[in-house]
């Protein structure tokens, strides 16, 4: 296609480029040869609707491979695997002539109740950022774009079109924006999707601080900002703020608003030129690789990758020995098995809403177990997934489940959340499994202790039965090959290696956002601040069901020789030798956390900073090298409004989970120089810590104290007078010191300190 610039277009043509032609397509400008391109939903598969369009998954779409949603894939903690899935998604997107796949979602799992948690990677920004960047690189390596979403602080579905996420600067930067920053800086997604919500009262779609100052000026984003579908509130304000492309079509209404704003002078035409230019750049980027990847799609290869990814997504939560024997898992192939639970036959493999994929095929766990087993396999649904089932039918299903379990060596019980309980568009009301399912579990446990629970859920669920069930498999939502992958893990063809990217709490009331979710009257207060997920549970020393980073294996791993050193770039290089001490091959996810005990600011006890997935044969040892980036040690200093690395002796913990620390070493980090401008509101403590003003004030206080005879008589013995004065405002010192510190002298001291000059000799 010809090289086109915005200067070649009329005002009306430029305005038209900044909104969709239809639900999924941009507008063409045929006069200059600019074609239309298609953007469509992901993230874990291509949802290309055959005709028409909707954003809630109600319309039929072309068949595509349904890979594990982020709740599963994130649990792999595997950068290479996520990249390979991204490549496969890129191939399918390119074959279907789609220009941009709308994903990944890297929003933080602030609350377990968020109905869209299945589409997000973690409660931790480093996990979300690192894996999100791998996804973007994989997809875009095939010549199609991604859309990093939902930018930003979009952590609930309730009132999502209007609610204001009211969040303080430090948690906003350190928790909710950090993952986005990592993806933008490391992977440069072609587009970023702004979210529906407001942030501290301002709609994300019209926030110049968010879309221009932070995203472009600070992070160096080079692409296009697209709205979530229907997220535009005020199109003129949005364009001026940096929101380039409105989706879907407004039937020309908002285009006319932009034209009118340029003509009446309320919007600079140069601003419109920039947005139109970004749309042109995106179209040209898409067209440059159009047609280079042709079909037909290798359905078998992509299904095999989906199966591999699903197996690596499964987390073995518990595998305790049973009376008179070892652990139940892996299953013996010749064991008599009772498979119980409707999810075994009717899998819940993806979330509801805009990310619903029409899979190319669908494996069920029941079929896969029957294929893998050599012993008898009986099946009982146990419960119904339908709504309004009467008590008689419920009781009959439960009795049949008990009968099946009674005649088996092991009962494999599939429990989970029906699609009606978690979806895009609304949040969950609790974290409990349905009562009828728990009743089936109780009834089965009454006749056998040999029970394996397999969970199907997009968000964490309470596990009040954890100590009564010897084996628990968290199988999440695993995509179209999840049934076969589950059987692979159950029988030991695949050694489980997934680990939790979110904490499983004991009860909802323990969760960080419990008292501040989902807000009221259009506002939700992020009252837990920095203490999201494991940061909260550690700070409050709360017991949890299963901690962040937890996941068992069919083998064991030993850690040795942990060491940490500072590189020439200021990063921390962590080395540790990991050995597979068991009898089967397996993978270990090595995690590195840091902490600074004597920090001048509030900090979590530990924060994840690096991780690696390592495959080891039985008996194999390997030195694993992980890098903690210096910038990831930084906190957001609200005094100077920038990132600051605090100097000090950092604890570096090498761990198998956030509560399974295998080794701790320390490393000294040089801090960034921070000089806060002084004012009359500065405390004496802040002034005395100032490199220039400090010595002057200390000398003045010593002189003042000499003239305050008898002050000791009114002070308790041992009281440090300077500690009492530490928070006293500088501007009020003259009230106490009189002529020894007049207002004029104080103003002179402030001016001298802020100018960076030392006092003259004898001053």
Handedness of CA 430, 436, 440, 445 (dihedral sign): positive
Q: Are 692 and 650 in contact (CB under 8 A)?
A: no
Q: Are 148 and 132 in contact (CB under 8 A)?
A: yes
CA–CA distance, 37 with 504 (Å, rounded to integer): 42
How many CB atoms are located within 10 Å of the residue 294 CB? 8
Ranges of beta strands (E only) in 201-296 are 202-203, 224-227
Question: Three-state DSSP class for 339?
Answer: strand
Beta-bridged to residue 655, according to DSSP, are 591, 661
The candidate with the shortest Cα–Cα distance to 606, out of 628, 581, 575, 636, is 628
Question: Three-state DSSP class for 743?
Answer: helix
User: Please, what's the b/e burial string for 5-28 (b: 16 or more CB within 10 A of its CB; e: otherwise)?
Assistant: ebeebeeebbbbbbbbbebbbbbb
Q: Are 664 and 653 in contact (CB under 8 A)?
A: yes
Indicate the pairing of strand 100-102 with strand 145-151.
parallel
Q: Are 152 and 163 in contact (CB under 8 A)?
A: no
Beta-bridged to residue 412, according to DSSP, are 339, 452
Which listed residue (41, 78, 228, 427) is catalytic?
A: 228
Q: Are 669 and 634 in contact (CB under 8 A)?
A: no
Active site residue 228: yes
Q: Are 193 and 102 in contact (CB under 8 A)?
A: yes
CA–CA distance, 287 with 290 (Å, rounded to integer): 5
The candidate with the shortest Cα–Cα distance to 678, out of 600, 733, 756, is 756
Is residue 142 exposed (0-12), middle (13-18) or buried (19+ Cβ within 10 Å)?
Answer: buried
Handedness of CA 329, 330, 336, 340 (dihedral sign): positive
The candidate with the shortest Cα–Cα distance to 258, out of 278, 233, 281, 238, is 238
> Which residues does 513 contact at the CB level (< 8 Å), separation at least 6?
110, 111, 526, 527, 528, 532
Q: Are 593 and 658 in contact (CB under 8 A)?
A: yes
Q: Are 370 and 406 in contact (CB under 8 A)?
A: no
Q: Which run of H or of E encompasses 271? A: helix 269-289
Which DSSP category does 12 fall into? Answer: H
Q: Are 582 and 556 in contact (CB under 8 A)?
A: yes
Question: Which residue's structure tokens are 């009743």?
Answer: 439
Indicate the pairing of strand 164-166 with strand 198-199.
parallel
Distance of CA 668 to the CA centre of its chain: 29
- The stretches of 39-124 forming alpha helices (DSSP H) are 70-73, 79-95
Instruction: Output the six-digit token pair for 65.
Output: 């491979």
Instruction: Output the six-digit token pair for 144.
Output: 């199609």
CA–CA distance, 346 with 355 (Å, rounded to integer): 19
Q: Are 428 and 448 in contact (CB under 8 A)?
A: no
CA–CA distance, 51 with 41 (Å, rounded to integer): 14
Is residue 745 exposed (0-12), middle (13-18) or buried (19+ Cβ within 10 Å)?
Answer: middle
Instruction: Output the six-digit token pair for 751.
Output: 């001016």
Which DSSP category does 760 fall into? Answer: P
Instruction: Output the six-digit token pair for 131.
Output: 């894996």
Q: What spatial distance separates the first Cα and last Cα of the chain, rounded to whole Å?
A: 72
Question: Three-state DSSP class for 626?
Answer: strand
Catalytically active residues, by annotation: 228
């Amino acid at each position: 296609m010809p090289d086109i610039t915005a200067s070649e277009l009329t005002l009306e043509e430029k305005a038209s480029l900044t909104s969709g032609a239809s639900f999924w397509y941009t507008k063409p400008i045929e006069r200059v040869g600019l074609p239309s391109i298609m953007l469509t939903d992901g993230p874990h598969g291509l949802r290309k609707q055959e005709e028409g369009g909707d954003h809630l998954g109600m319309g039929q779409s072309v068949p595509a491979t349904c890979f594990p949603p982020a709740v599963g894939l994130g649990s792999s903690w595997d950068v290479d695997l996520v990249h390979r899935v991204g490549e496969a998604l890129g191939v399918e997107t390119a074959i279907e002539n789609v220009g941009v796949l709308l994903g990944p979602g890297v929003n933080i799992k602030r609350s377990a109740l968020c109905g869209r948690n299945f589409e997000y990677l973690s409660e931790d920004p480093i996990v979300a950022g690192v894996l999100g960047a791998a996804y973007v690189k994989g997809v875009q390596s095939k010549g199609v774009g991604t859309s990093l979403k939902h930018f930003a602080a979009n952590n609930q579905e309730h009132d999502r079109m209007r609610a204001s996420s009211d969040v303080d600067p430090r948690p906003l930067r350190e928790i909710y924006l950090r993952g986005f920053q990592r993806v933008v800086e490391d992977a440069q997604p072609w587009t970023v999707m702004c979210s529906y919500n407001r942030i501290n009262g301002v709609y994300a779609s019209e926030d110049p601080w968010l879309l221009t100052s932070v995203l472009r000026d600070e992070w160096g984003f080079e692409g296009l900002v697209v709205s979530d579908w229907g997220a535009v509130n005020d199109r003129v304000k949005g364009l001026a703020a940096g929101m380039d492309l409105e989706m879907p079509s407004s039937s020309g209404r908002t285009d006319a608003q932009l034209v009118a704003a340029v003509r009446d002078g309320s919007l600079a035409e140069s601003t419109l030129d920039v947005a139109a230019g970004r749309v042109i750049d995106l179209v040209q980027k898409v067209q440059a690789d159009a047609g280079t990847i042709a079909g037909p799609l290798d359905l078998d290869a992509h299904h095999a990758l989906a199966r591999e990814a699903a197996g690596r997504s499964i987390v073995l939560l518990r595998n305790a020995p049973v009376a008179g024997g070892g652990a139940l898992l892996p299953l013996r192939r010749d064991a008599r098995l009772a498979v119980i639970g409707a999810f075994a036959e009717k899998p819940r493999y993806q979330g509801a809403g805009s990310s619903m994929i029409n899979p190319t095929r669908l494996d069920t766990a029941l079929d896969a177990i029957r294929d893998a087993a050599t012993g008898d396999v009986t099946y009982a649904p146990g419960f119904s997934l339908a709504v309004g089932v009467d008590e008689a039918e419920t009781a009959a299903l439960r009795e049949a489940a008990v009968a099946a379990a009674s005649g088996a060596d092991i009962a494999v019980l599939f429990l989970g959340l029906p699609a009606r309980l978690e979806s895009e568009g609304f949040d969950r009301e609790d974290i409990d499994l349905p009562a009828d399912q728990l009743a089936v579990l109780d009834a089965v446990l009454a006749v056998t202790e040999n029970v394996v629970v397999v969970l199907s859920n997009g968000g964490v669920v309470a596990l009040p039965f954890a100590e009564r069930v010897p084996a628990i498999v968290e199988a999440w939502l695993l995509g179209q090959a999840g049934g076969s992958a589950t059987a692979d893990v159950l029988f030991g063809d695949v050694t489980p290696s997934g680990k939790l990217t979110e904490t499983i709490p004991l009860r909802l009331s323990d969760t960080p956002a419990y008292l501040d979710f989902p807000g009221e009257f259009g506002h939700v207060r992020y009252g837990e601040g920095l203490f999201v997920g494991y940061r909260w549970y550690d700070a409050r020393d709360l017991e949890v069901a299963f901690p962040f980073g937890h996941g068992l294996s069919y083998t064991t791993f030993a850690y040795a020789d942990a060491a940490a050193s500072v590189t020439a770039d200021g990063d921390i290089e962590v080395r540790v030798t990991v050995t597979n001490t068991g009898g089967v091959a397996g993978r270990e996810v090595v995690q590195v956390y840091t902490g600074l005990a004597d920090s001048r600011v509030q900090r979590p006890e530990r924060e994840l900073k690096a991780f690696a997935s390592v495959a080891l044969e039985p008996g194999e040892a390997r030195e694993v090298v992980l890098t903690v980036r210096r910038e990831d040690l930084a906190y957001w200093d609200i005094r100077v409004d920038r990132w600051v690395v605090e100097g000090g002796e950092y604890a570096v913990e090498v761990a198998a989970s956030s509560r399974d620390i295998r080794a701790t070493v320390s490393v000294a980090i040089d801090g960034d120089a921070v000089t806060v401008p002084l004012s009359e509101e500065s405390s004496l403590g802040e002034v005395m810590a100032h490199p220039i003003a400090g010595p002057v004030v200390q000398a003045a206080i010593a002189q003042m104290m000499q003239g305050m005879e008898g002050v000791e008589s009114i002070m308790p013995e041992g009281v440090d007078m300077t500690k009492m004065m530490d928070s006293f405002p500088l501007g009020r010192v003259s009230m106490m010191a009189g002529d020894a510190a007049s207002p004029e002298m104080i103003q002179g001291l402030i001016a001298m300190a802020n100018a960076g000059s030392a006092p003259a000799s004898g001053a």
